């Protein structure tokens, strides 16, 4: 027993080290981190914890829980890249622990070890632990909800705690936090046993609403226009029916490939579940399978198909992949000579080392808007604004970017009277605005990075 406990501690410590490694780097690898840093800092500085703010204006595109936690951390620790990522890091570590416990409960300790290793080395998961974001914390809350739901099948009282994690999830990721409710509903509908009392399900729903609703009512009452146009429109209409500006549209097949394989190649091991194995419990497999499908299918049908929205599906995919690996080894053990297992283990170890190494190497590459912004700040007089065309790609922030970064629309370019610097996020955006730019202004390329440009525009009207 002591050996098993020591092995568990060793594996978990290695996983935690991989999660924490390089999270102190002052690199922006995910543009939204600037937004989250600024919203958290403004809460800390102003003491206004009701509505997040950007550039002095109410910003209700995201719920406030992440900003509340980060602002509280800022009261104790200095504002550094590491401190703004603390909520993400704690959530990632919690997700690893819950994935281990969940897979151990459903299957075995061996599957639990493997699922922990697979999740830790999944590039999408590991990459996002190095940046402030909402999706890792939401993944923790989703995993907690479904772990508590599983425990409630033996003691329904655990379901009440699942209501609390669901409510906190809504305050973290808005409507994307409803996937656990869908998973529980489907599982209850298809389960022939372990049906939970309706009274507990209603109480759980009441607790979730009781936690999430007050903030929504307060901001609705105080900022009705922003609540309707920013919060509801952005989180419902824009995500379901609109493609986010600045991100290339993904087809459904491409999204599914990227999510299930491209950014998590070890998920292919889950295909081994289709091989026969009399020792495998179909009922145990059903919950993580429902979890994956109830997350991936709705996301693939929405117009906004961001791979990181599907991070919530990575814990069950890791569990299914670990189960598939155990299944594959069980079927092959009588067909592969013992001497060749050493070679198989070497190959497996090489893959596990290669995946996180690839992530760590790519951490040196900042997002292109950040690279250009740093060059712009270093080579222009203080106070020079950097305009964004049609959409705010490079937001202003107190700690990170003190320059003004206003949005200017394409039709406004024809009325320019003074020179400006303009940020264009892609070649497609440059091509789209080419006719207007040629008509209105002389253009000088100030800097470029991976298809993005900063142009110095001199109005022809000044000639």
> 298 and 394, same structural domain?
no
User: Using one digit for the tens of pLDDT, what is the confidence trace for 130-175?
Assistant: 999 999 999 999 999 999 999 999 999 999 999 999 999 999 999 9
Last residue of a domain, one of 362, 387, 407: 362
Regarding pTM above 0.85, the answer is yes
> 397 and 349, same structural domain?
no
Q: Which two tokens stand for residue 245?
A: 């500006």
Residues 6+ apart with CB under 8 A from 335: none
222 has a pLDDT exceeding 90: yes
> 339 and 408, same structural domain?
no
Decide if 390 contacts 407 (C-beta within 8 A): yes
**What pLDDT, on a 0 to 100 scale, did the predictor assign at position 392?**
83
- Domain residues for the domain of 48 are 2-362
In this prediction, residues 443-463 reach a mean pLDDT of 89
432 has a pLDDT exceeding 70: yes
> 245 and 145, same structural domain?
yes
- For the chain, give the secondary structure using H, E and C: CHHHHHHHHHHHHHHHHHHHCCCCCCCCCCCHHHHHHHHHHHHHHHCCCCCCEECCEECCCCCCHHHHHHHHHHCCCCCCHHHHCHHHHHHHHHHHHHHHHHHHHHCCHHHHHHHHHHHHCCHHHHHHCCCCCCHHHHHHHHHHHHHHHHHHCCCCCHHHHHHHHHHHHHHHHHHHHHHHHHHHHHHHHHCCCCCCCHHHHHHHHHHHHHHHHHHHHHHHHHCHHHHHHHHHHHHHHHHHHCCCCCCCCCCHHHHHHHHHHHCCHHHHHHHHHHCCCCCCCHHHHHHHHHHHHHHHHHHHHCCCCCHHHHHHHHHHHHHHHHHHHHHHHHHHCCCCCHHHHHHHHHHHHHHHHHHHHHHHHHCCCCCHHHHHHHHHHHHCCCCCCEEEECCCCCCCCCCCCCCCCCEECHHHHHHCCCCEEEEECCHHHHHHCHHHHHHHEEEEEEEEECCEEEEEEEEHHHC
**What pLDDT, on a 0 to 100 scale, did the predictor assign at position 330?**
77
Nearest to 319, CA basis, from 18, 125, 12, 102? 102
Q: What's the structural domain count of the chain?
A: 2
In this prediction, residues 426-434 reach a mean pLDDT of 89
Report CA Rg, the chain: 24
> 457 and 353, same structural domain?
no
**What pLDDT, on a 0 to 100 scale, did the predictor assign at position 240?**
80
The C-alpha atoms of residue 332 and residue 10 are separated, in whole angstroms, by: 28
Q: How confident is the model at residue 317 (pLDDT cuts 50, 70, 90)?
A: very high
> 334 and 316, same structural domain?
yes
Most confident region among 35-39, 66-70, 348-352, 459-463 by mean pLDDT: 66-70
Q: Terminal CA-to-CA distance of the chain, rounded, Å?
A: 84
Percent of the chain with pLDDT over 70: 94
59 has a pLDDT exceeding 80: yes
The C-alpha atoms of residue 420 and residue 433 are separated, in whole angstroms, by: 16
Phi, psi of 374 (to 5 degrees): -60, -40
> 282 and 254, same structural domain?
yes
1 has a pLDDT exceeding 50: no
Most confident region among 52-66, 136-150, 258-272, 370-384 by mean pLDDT: 136-150
Question: Average pLDDT over the chain, rounded to whole?
Answer: 89
In this prediction, residues 412-426 reach a mean pLDDT of 92
Decide if 74 contacts 41 (C-beta within 8 A): yes
In this prediction, residues 303-330 reach a mean pLDDT of 91
In this prediction, residues 105-122 reach a mean pLDDT of 93
Which of the two residues, 1 and 350, has the higher pLDDT score?
350
**What pLDDT, on a 0 to 100 scale, did the predictor assign at position 170?**
97
Which of the two residues, 40 and 9, has the higher pLDDT score?
40
Match 């320019």 to its residue by tokens. 416
Residue 101, Ramachandran bin (φ over 0: left; ψ between -120 and 50: alpha; else beta)? alpha
279 has a pLDDT exceeding 80: no
**What pLDDT, on a 0 to 100 scale, did the predictor assign at position 362?**
86
291 has a pLDDT exceeding 60: yes
> 146 and 96, same structural domain?
yes
Least confident of 209-218, 281-290, 404-413: 281-290
User: Using one digit for the tens of pLDDT, what is the confidence trace for 318-353?
Assistant: 999 999 988 888 777 766 666 666 666 666 777 778
> 98 and 81, same structural domain?
yes
Decide if 46 contacts 53 (C-beta within 8 A): yes
Last residue of a domain, one of 362, 378, 401: 362
Last residue of a domain, one of 309, 335, 362: 362
In this prediction, residues 267-271 reach a mean pLDDT of 89
> 222 and 125, same structural domain?
yes
In this prediction, residues 284-301 reach a mean pLDDT of 93
Q: Which two tokens stand for residue 43?
A: 């809460």
Least confident of 8-12, 22-26, 98-102: 8-12
User: Using one digit for the tens of pLDDT, what is the confidence trace for 359-418?
Assistant: 998 888 899 999 999 999 999 999 999 999 988 888 888 888 888 999 999 999 988 989
> 345 and 264, same structural domain?
yes
Most confident region among 82-96, 251-265, 327-341, 425-439 by mean pLDDT: 82-96
Q: How confident is the model at residue 269 (pLDDT cuts 50, 70, 90)?
A: confident
> 235 and 310, same structural domain?
yes
């Amino acid at each position: 027993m002591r050996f098993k406990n020591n092995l568990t501690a060793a594996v978990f410590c290695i996983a935690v080290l991989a999660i924490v490694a390089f999270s102190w780097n002052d690199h922006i690898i995910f543009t939204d981190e600037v937004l989250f840093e600024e919203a958290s800092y403004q809460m800390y500085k102003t003491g206004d914890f009701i509505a997040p703010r950007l550039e002095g204006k109410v910003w209700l595109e995201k719920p406030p829980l992440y900003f509340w936690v980060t602002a509280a951390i800022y009261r104790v620790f200095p504002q550094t890249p590491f401190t703004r990522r603390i909520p993400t890091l704690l959530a990632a570590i919690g997700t690893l622990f819950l994935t281990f416990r969940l897979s151990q409960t459903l299957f075995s300790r061996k599957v639990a070890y493997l699922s922990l290793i697979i999740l830790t080395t999944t590039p999408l998961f590991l990459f996002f632990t190095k940046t402030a974001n909402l999706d890792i914390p939401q993944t923790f809350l989703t995993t907690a909800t479904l772990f508590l739901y599983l425990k409630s099948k033996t003691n329904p009282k655990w379901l009440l705690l699942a209501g609390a994690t669901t409510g906190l999830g809504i305050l973290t990721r808005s409507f994307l936090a409803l996937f656990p409710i869908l998973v529980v509903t489907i599982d209850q509908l298809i389960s022939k046993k372990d049906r939970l009392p309706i009274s507990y399900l209603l109480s759980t729903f009441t607790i979730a609403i009781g936690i999430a609703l007050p903030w929504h009512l307060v901001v609705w009452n105080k900022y009705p226009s922003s609540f309707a146009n920013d919060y509801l429109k952005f989180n419902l209409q824009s995500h379901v029916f609109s493609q986010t500006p600045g991100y290339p549209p993904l087809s459904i097949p491409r999204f599914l490939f990227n999510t299930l394989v491209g950014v998590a190649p070890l998920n292919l091991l889950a295909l081994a579940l289709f091989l026969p194995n009399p020792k495998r419990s179909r009922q145990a497999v059903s919950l993580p399978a429902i979890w994956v499908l109830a997350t991936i299918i709705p996301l693939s049908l929405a117009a906004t198909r961001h791979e990181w929205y599907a991070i919530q599906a990575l814990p069950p995919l890791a569990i299914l992949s670990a189960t598939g690996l155990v299944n594959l080894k069980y079927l092959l053990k009588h067909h592969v000579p013992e001497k060749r297992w050493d070679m198989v283990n070497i190959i497996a170890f090489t893959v596990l080392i290669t995946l996180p190494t690839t992530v760590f190497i790519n951490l040196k590459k900042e997002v292109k808007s950040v690279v250009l912004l740093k060059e712009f700040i270093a080579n222009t007089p203080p106070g020079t604004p950097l305009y964004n065309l049609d959409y705010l790609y490079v937001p202003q922030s107190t700690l990170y970017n003190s320059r003004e970064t206003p949005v200017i629309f394409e039709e406004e370019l024809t009325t320019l009277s003074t020179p400006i610097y303009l940020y264009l996020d892609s070649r497609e955006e440059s091509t789209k605005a080419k006719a207007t730019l040629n008509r209105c202004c002389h253009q000088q390329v100030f800097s470029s990075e991976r298809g993005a440009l900063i142009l110095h525009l001199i109005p022809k009207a000044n000639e």
